[in-house]
A and B are shown apart, each in its own frame.
Chain A
Amino acid sequence: MKTPCVIITLFLYVIIYSMTAFAFEYESDRVAMSLDGYLEGNGIYALKGRTPDEDPSYTLGLGCKSTLGSWGAFKLALQGVYDGKVFAAHNDRLFNEFDKVYQDKNPYINVDEAYIDIYTEKMDLRLGIQKFAWGRLDEINPTDNMNTEDFTEGTMRKENERKIGAPSIKANIYTDLANVEIGWIPRYVPYRLPTPEERWFPPVLKAPSVIPTNTSIGDIPVTAIYKDIDLPAFTIGNSEIGVRISGYIGGWDLSLSYFSGYDPMPVTASPTELIVELENLLPLKANVMTQVYVEPRIHRFQVFGFDFSTTYGPLTIRGEWAYFDGKYYVRKTEDILREEMTMEKQQAIMTEFLREFLASGGTKTRQTFYFEPQMELQKDSMKYGIGIDYIHGDTTVSLQCIQECILDYDKAKSVHFNKEGLDTTFTLDIRRFFIQNTLEIDLAGAYNIEFQDILVKPLLTYSFTDNIHGTLGAILLDGKYDDSLIGQFKDNDEIFAKIRYSF
């Protein structure tokens, strides 16, 4: 959004279109059904001009919920989106796919959730596209790995809104001792990324524009090709399963969890073609260029988790701990280049080029060499955190500390978002309601110790009526490094405005 008048446009848009919106409710002795939804418009104003433009986006959300006596229920939640971030849509499909990483459609329909519930005395069964919610922390849940996330809007949306519903089966078995939740996802649903041209595409996943050689060859230009994901075969062995056992013991909500499936976080590989083309024979001179294929890769891992929540005086205390067995991390580009661009390797390539050139009788003047740098690194790790909430009047304060620890960290093979085995983030959220809950002011922030990353997100939400809410906010990002989790987005400071009509 480039001018303030766009906010007014958005407001008028919502008002005009809300006239046509309706809600529907039906209730009889056995069946109850409701149809509701919202219309939302949002726009941003980029505070730094170095990032791609973004037009206002509009979303029409529709929800249908039905209860069938005491034995079942049905829910459908759809979103029709005009995505202002996507300028040149490459994909003309209407529905968001469950087998693609890049969101390159505009407009599109997203099936957020669509499931049926079957209730029995001791078990609830949920079949369909659904979201799981494990863990007790806010926004960052180490034990919650069942659903992947939509990263197309960075941190604009809340954690549950970022989650991508997965076609799956969930059974909740209730006993006097504990609640056992079992989730089965027959086929992994990949995370969603914006296209590389957009402002929220993670820079650390981008290929460098040149590869320095520190030799007479000079900098090698890079052409990056972003490929979509190759999903594993649709087999039982490639399905995902999670089990969570929860109970309430002596004032403590406790859970133990286990997950076996694919890591929901983005990891990429970069198979590379190095093209050597003879320019002059005497003196020998060759053009060298590279073509890097950035390919999303997924890896199975196991997660053993524990979480708790309790109260202590005026405080609510929440915590989570997870052990990742077989997690993969993305290595830092400079380390990989250092390994791949050694003098010996460069000489070996040129020697091989000349050998082939001579063997062909001087006809093979262009040759391609294939590499697959070791972009990913497997390391077991732990991630844990604790959060404290304090409520006073209409004010809520939440403080969290979350740390990731890579076991057996190898300094020679550093990875993104972790410094010498540690990554520690503090988050703070101060929220206050005013005027009978019609005005909400929320100040959220995060600080990363190792990378000195800072995120500040002030929000002001006003309820014009029970159905119309307007939000004005900002995201301010900074960091000492360009390749840290927050620091990579430090050019993405923005002010945003959102208006939603619910019906």
Chain B
Amino acid sequence: MRFKYLIVSIAICFMASMALSHPCFSGELSAYQIMKKSEALTDQAKDSKAEMTITLINKKGKERQRKLLAYMKNYDNGEDKTLIIFISPADVKGTSFLAWSAPGKEDKQWLYLPALQRVRQISSSGKGESFMGTEFSFYDMGSHHIDDNTYTLLKEEEVEGHMCYVIEAMPKDMKYYSKVISWIRKDNFIPIKVDFYDKKGKYLKQAISTKIENIKGINTPTHIKMHNVQNNRTTIIEFANILYDTGLNDDIFTQRYMQRGK
């Protein structure tokens, strides 16, 4: 199981997909049932395309912006492919990142740097690292498989005036995080907050979705704020011009298209 829409919203929806395979009962609904409903809201598109604006905010409050184009496509066999192309600023324009993910297999990732004019395969074990200086890691930007985690429904709690299910995911190999806790709204099953803990178990960062839009019947977080409490830096990702199910061609998710760019 994996996300069926924009990969970067993974940061928010991370928990939604992970909880699916491990039932854990609350009073009314099991964790599985909760997440199934949550996932159903986001799992409706076969492909997606969106413009992204990433704002990097350092601890002094200084801001820098990057603009990207993101494409994602899901396949019936469980595979998914993602392509991200940098539009600005000028020094990273044309840089692109391609990821292929398949159930039970290591992700395959490539990076194209215009300055080298070469596509380079990169190890997916570097996925825990920062994605282009943001507080999102390559792992956050990719898709995940639910069998890699175990889950617990911790409690119910109010966040921003919404009652939420609080679900804890424990990755089995703790490669990137020791645990991830998410808050899923009870009324619409949309995850609105996710806390990430580093490999040592220390609180690392928090993602908050402050804006959710219904696009083509799909509830989509369009404003995600990730704050790293350890380095006091923040990344905001905003989506615009989101298009679902446009029938993206498979050719987009190739090294050919990486080099061609926008």
Contacts and interface: CB of A to CB of B under 8 A. Distances in A.
Asked if A and B bind, the verdict is: yes
Contact of A311 (B119, B121, B134, B254): B121
Given A179-B256, A437-B133, A502 B121 contact: no
A465 B56 CA distance: 12
A16 to B, nearest CB: 19
Nearest to A122: B251
Interface in B85-140: 88-91, 93, 106, 108, 115-126, 129-130, 132-134
B93 A36 contact: yes
B199 interface: no
B89 A313 contact: no
13 contacts: A38-B90, A124-B260, A310-B121, A392-B129, A393-B130, A394-B130, A436-B134, A438-B64, A465-B64, A466-B88, A466-B90, A466-B91, A467-B91
A66 B90 CA distance: 16
Interface of B: 56, 58, 64-65, 88-91, 93, 106, 108, 115-126, 129-130, 132-134, 233, 251, 254-256, 260, 262
A391 B89 contact: no
Given A174-B256, A311-B123, A133 B116 contact: yes
A314 B89 contact: no
A310 B120 CA distance: 9
Given A133-B118, A311-B121, A316-B122, A394 B129 contact: yes
Contact of A502 (B90, B118, B130, B134): B90
Contacts of B65: 466
Contacts of A253: 119, 121
A433 B122 CA distance: 17
What are the 7 tightest A-B residue pairs by CB atom distance, in nearest-first order?
A: A437-B133, A502-B90, A466-B89, A133-B117, A391-B126, A314-B125, A311-B123
A158 interface: yes
Contact of A160 (B93, B108, B115, B255): B115
Contact of B129 (A119, A124, A393, A436): A393
Contacts of A361: none
Nearest to B235: A436
A329 B123 CA distance: 38
A309 interface: yes
A135 B117 CA distance: 11
B118 A136 contact: yes
Given A179-B256, A315-B123, A392-B129, A36 B90 contact: yes
